[in-house]
Amino acid sequence: MDLMGVTEIAAMLGVSGQRVSQLSRTRAFPEPVAELAAGRVWLRADVEKWARETGRL
């Protein structure tokens, strides 16, 4: 299972962590698979699919 946090998503999209936090609160963004003490985590495949579908990748 390939997981991503806010920092990894920001690097992939070329945006700030704050922007990822904003995007992650939209309805279209994938649901996190877990919420850890270090923050929320997502499946890489879900984030990449969302990014392609929204023209961000």
**Tokens (6 digits) for 52:** 């392609």
Residues 6 or more apart whose CB falls under 8 angstroms from that of 1 comprise 43
> Whole-prediction pTM value?
0.92
Q: Phi/psi zone of residue 8: left (φ > 0), alpha (ψ -120 to 50 degrees), beta?
A: alpha
Band (1; pLDDT cuts 50, 70, 90): confident
pLDDT tens, position by position, 5-32: 999 999 999 999 999 999 999 999 999 9
Computed over every residue of the chain, the mean pLDDT equals: 97
